[in-house]
Amino acid sequence: MGVLDGTTALITGGSRGIGRAICLRLAKYGAAIILHYHRNREAAEETAALIDGPVTLVQADLASAAEIEALFQSLAGRRLDLLINNAGVWKGSPVGSSPVELIDELLATNLKGPFLVTQAALPLLNDGARIVNISSVAGRTGVAGGRSLYGATKAAMDSLTRNWALELAPRRILVNAVAPGYITTDMTAAYLADPANLERALIRHPLGRLGTPEDIADVVAFLCSPDARFITGQSLNVSGGFVI
Ligand code: NAP
């Protein structure tokens, strides 16, 4: 018996990194998994193979409204209990030299996408469902490296979290966010391969290590569990003390 037995979870960006760990954790607790991916079908299949339970793979570029619409058409008739808005991109956007295409891509993938996904998911979500948004400490504090737009999209995710919690409370849908510090995934691999960047990142983590995808997945699973039944509108800082 798992605490999520009988539930169905849609995880965006479930193919790799934090999303993969979330899929595995929620499945371990009994949820049926709808695993969304973008380009990396092979990674999505690898994740699915690690899951002992029902898994459905769905594909979409979440920067595209048309692809989000098609994704939800393919889910017609399904019911959802858990929605994890995890997919995102981490790109530099130095103010003064960022092309409009890059600005559009960051806003579309990290902000417009989760908004449209959540909007499309609402008719499928059961009353009492849970939504967990993956934001970032970059939405709460300045981080060197010219990634202001990324930080802005993550601050926006925290704002969406607070406001959706109010909007969806009449349906008893709980909406929370998890804000990681540096987590070792494909997203940060190239950056952290530079010893100077790694040292800078470690200094920001008083607990003395960077985070793992499982550090985040465990907290997401908690927020999806009955134990978190009276928590809504919160963004939990899960960063080993990056921001205190
Ligand atoms: P990751 O390893 O780079 O994986 C990114 C995931 O997002 C993949 O599943 C990818 O799908 C999907 N994705 C990327 N662009 C997409 C698009 N246009 N449409 C649909 N899906 C797309 O990233 P991660 O480190 O696990 O990060 C997951 C979330 O945590 C992100 O929101 C990120 O901002 C946040 N976060 C990460 C860190 C960190 O240090 N890693 C820190 C704070 C917050 P494919 O596999 O198909 O490409």
3-state secondary structure 116-149: HHHHHHCCCEEEEEEEEEECCHHHCCCCCCCCHH
The yes-or-no verdict on residue 68 having pLDDT over 80 is: yes
Q: Is the CB of 18 under 6 A from ligand 1?
A: yes
Q: Is the CB of 15 under 6 A from ligand 1?
A: yes
* 187 neighbors 211 (Cβ within 8 angstroms): no
- Residue 145: the pLDDT is 85
Nearest CA to ligand 1 atom 41: 183
Fill in the amino acid letter for 135.
S
CA 224-228-229 angle, to 5 degrees, is: 100
CA–CA distance, 43 with 2 (Å, rounded to integer): 26
CA–CA distance, 83 with 34 (Å, rounded to integer): 10
Atom number, ligand 1, closest to the C-alpha of residue 87? 7
The yes-or-no verdict on residue 144 having pLDDT over 90 is: no
pLDDT band at 102 (very low <50, low <70, confident <90, very high): very high
Determine the 3-state secondary structure of 202 from DSSP.
Answer: helix
The yes-or-no verdict on residue 1 having pLDDT over 90 is: no
- Residue 206: the pLDDT is 96
Nearest CA to ligand 1 atom 44: 136
* 173 neighbors 130 (Cβ within 8 angstroms): yes
Atom number, ligand 1, closest to the C-alpha of residue 105? 18
CB neighbours of residue 45 within 10 Å: 15
pLDDT band at 80 (very low <50, low <70, confident <90, very high): very high
- The strand ranges marked E within the chain are 8-11, 32-37, 55-59, 80-85, 125-134, 174-180, 235-238
The yes-or-no verdict on residue 123 having pLDDT over 90 is: yes
Distance 22 CA to ligand 1 centre (A): 12
**Would you give the distance in Å from CA 122 to the centre of its chain?**
17
Pairing of strands 174-180, 8-11: unpaired
- Residue 143: the pLDDT is 86
pLDDT band at 42 (very low <50, low <70, confident <90, very high): very high
- Residue 202: the pLDDT is 96
Q: Is the CB of 185 under 6 A from ligand 1?
A: yes
**Which residues 6+ apart lie within 8 Å of 120 measured at CB?**
68, 69, 71, 72
For the entire predicted model, the pTM comes to 0.98
Q: Is the CB of 63 under 6 A from ligand 1?
A: yes
Fill in the amino acid letter for 175.
V
Residues taking part in catalysis: 150
The predicted-structure confidence for 208-240, as pLDDT tens digits, reads as follows: 999 999 999 999 999 999 999 999 999 999 999
- CATH of 8-234 among 3.20.20.140, 3.30.70.1250, 2.60.40.10, 3.40.50.720: 3.40.50.720
Q: Is the CB of 172 under 6 A from ligand 1?
A: no
Q: Is the CB of 19 under 6 A from ligand 1?
A: yes
Determine the 3-state secondary structure of 15 from DSSP.
Answer: coil
pLDDT band at 128 (very low <50, low <70, confident <90, very high): very high
Ligand 1 site-directed mutation target among 38, 68, 91, most atoms within 8 Å of CB? 38
Q: Is the CB of 88 under 6 A from ligand 1?
A: yes
User: What would the mean pLDDT of 80-102 be, rounded to a whole number?
Assistant: 97
Atom number, ligand 1, closest to the C-alpha of residue 182? 40
